[in-house]
Each structure stands twice: as C-alpha cells, then as structure tokens.
C-alpha cells in the first residue's frame, strides 16, 4: 500500500530543510515526507529521495541535501527508515560525479560518525548496513579507505569500553578494511594496533578472539615483529606471549596462496 500523504512541514523542519538545500532541490512533498511524524511516511520519503538524487548531480548543494536526508535516516529509531535512507547512498554511488567533489568528506563527516555509532547497534541488520555503507565509501576517491579507517581506529569512548558489542562493531569492519585495502591504510597501523591491544584486554572471549584476528591482519600488513613486540610490551604476558608466538609462527610459514583448509 502507498504511504499516506505527509502532514505539512513544521516551521523548525522547514528551516532545517531550507538550510541545506533539501527543500529547494527535492521539493515540498519529499521534504515533508522525510520530516513526517509517521515512520511509514518517512520511509517513503527516503525512497523518493533515492529516486530523485541521481537527477540532481551537479546542482549546487546536491550533496549537502542528500547528506541531510541520510543523516535524518541515520538518527531514526525505526530500522526500516534507516535502511531506506541507505538507498540514497546507493543512488549516489552509482551516479558518476555525485560523490567526486573535494569537499565530499567534509559534507559527509557527520553522517560517517553517525554510521560508526550504528556499528554497535543492538539490531544485526542495522550493524550490517552501517558497516556496508562505511566500507562502500572506501572505493570512492573523494573519501577512500584512510578516512574510513581513521574512524574505525579512533579510541572507543570511555562509556562504551565495557560493551562487547561496541568492540565487535569496530573490530569486524577493521578486519575487512585491512583485508581489502591494507596497503592504502598502512599509515593507520599504529592507532589500529592501540585499539586492538585495548580490545585484547576485554573480559569478553569473543572480543579477544576478534582482536586476535585483527592483530593477525595487521601483522600481515606491517610484518615487523619488533614493532609488534614493542607496541604490545605492556599487555598482560598471558595474553601477549601466545599472540606473539602465533604471529612468529605465521611469519615463519611459507605464504600459501591456495584456498586449502578454510
């Protein structure tokens, strides 16, 4: 069934929609849907914005307006609205030039921070979608793996350090980033190792296992045992020694290109 028509834009929402070019570029109907009180109407607004976004490429403020739509979606409590907002990203990625400007990273920064917060969401679909959105931006020259990696290796806020979900939300995408874009994020190996080291001290076995895996990916990139040993020097010996031993063993093994085992 089609979503019902939106209620008129309230004054505060209108001001917000005008400030970023959303009202001017997407029109009254889409703006009213995006700011609606009804989640079904908001979801239909995200879909309408995704359909219109490709035709706006090249317009001044097109990226600011699209970023605003996605940011509204990212702060929505309804999972379906957030997921629908990512169709705007997909539409931009498949439109040549939409995300090519030099200020793309600046325009999208609040959105990237919001997606990073979603990596520790209690809903698995939300976590997966946020990870997918961040990693999709790695392939865009205007943003790239370093900008995304810097967000992933930033220290966890103190309030989240006891949350295993917050750690897993960083470590899983970090592993993917290292596997898929390793050489381009080499300069992040120090902060990445600091994050991994802190995760290795977690009370959660699952977090420690993911941190160990991330340490292996990092070692494959850095390949310097002394650097690792120095960085991990103040880790508890019970955690540090088996890890260093397994890395040492791995570096002694001949590199295998075949997909045996697994």
Spatial CA neighbour of 135 closest among 103, 175, 78: 175
Q: Counting Cβ atoms within 10 Å, is residue 102 exposed (0-12), middle (13-18) or buried (19+)? A: exposed
Number of other residues whose CB lies within 10 A of the CB of residue 55: 12
Judge whether residue 260 has pLDDT over 50.
no
Write out the two tokens for 239: 């955690």
**Interval 48-100: pLDDT, tens:** 999 999 999 989 899 999 999 999 999 999 999 999 999 999 999 999 888 88
User: φ, ψ for residue 16 (rounded to 5)?
Assistant: -65, -45
List all residues 6 or more positions away from 147 whose beta carbon is below 8 Å from its beta carbon: 105, 112, 137
How many angstroms separate the CA atoms of 62 and 92, rounded?
10
pLDDT at 259: 46
**Interval 153-174: pLDDT, tens:** 999 999 999 999 999 999 999 9
What length is written for the chain?
262
Q: Contact at 8 Å (CB) between 31 and 9?
A: yes
How many angstroms separate the CA atoms of 147 and 127, rounded?
19
Q: Contact at 8 Å (CB) between 99 and 63?
A: yes
CA distances from 70 to 153, 173, 230 (A): 23, 21, 42
Write out the two tokens for 247: 């890395």
Q: What angle do CA 206, 212, 218 make, to 5 degrees?
A: 140
What value does the mean pLDDT of the chain take?
Answer: 92
Judge whether residue 262 has pLDDT over 60.
no
pLDDT at 129: 98
**248 backbone φψ class: left, alpha, beta (φ>0; ψ -120 to 50):** alpha
């Amino acid at each position: 069934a089609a979503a019902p028509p939106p209620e008129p834009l309230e004054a505060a929402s209108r001001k917000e929609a005008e400030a970023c070019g959303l009202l001017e570029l997407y029109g009254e109907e889409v703006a009213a849907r995006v700011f609606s009180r009804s989640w079904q109407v908001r979801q239909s607004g995200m879909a309408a914005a995704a359909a219109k976004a490709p035709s706006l490429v090249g317009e001044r403020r097109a990226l600011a307006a699209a970023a605003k739509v996605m940011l509204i979606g990212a702060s929505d409590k309804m999972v379906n609205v957030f997921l629908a907002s990512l169709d705007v990203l997909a539409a931009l990625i498949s439109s040549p030039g939409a995300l090519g400007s030099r200020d793309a990273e600046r325009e999208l920064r609040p959105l990237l921070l919001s997606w990073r917060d979603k990596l520790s969401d209690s809903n698995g679909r939300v976590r997966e979608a946020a990870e997918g959105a961040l990693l999709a931006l790695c392939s865009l020259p205007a943003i790239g793996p370093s900008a995304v990696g810097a967000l992933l290796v930033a220290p966890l806020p103190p309030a989240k350090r006891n949350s295993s979900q917050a750690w897993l939300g960083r470590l899983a995408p970090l592993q993917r980033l290292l596997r898929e874009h390793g050489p381009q994020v080499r300069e992040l190996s120090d902060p990445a190792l600091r994050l991994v080291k802190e995760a290795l001290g977690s009370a959660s076995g699952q977090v420690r296992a993911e941190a160990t895996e991330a340490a292996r990916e990092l070692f494959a990139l850095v390949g310097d045992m002394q650097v690792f040993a120095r960085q991990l020097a103040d880790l508890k010996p019970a955690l540090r020694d088996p890890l260093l031993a397994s890395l040492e063993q791995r570096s002694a093994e001949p590199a295998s290109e075949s997909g045996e085992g697994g």
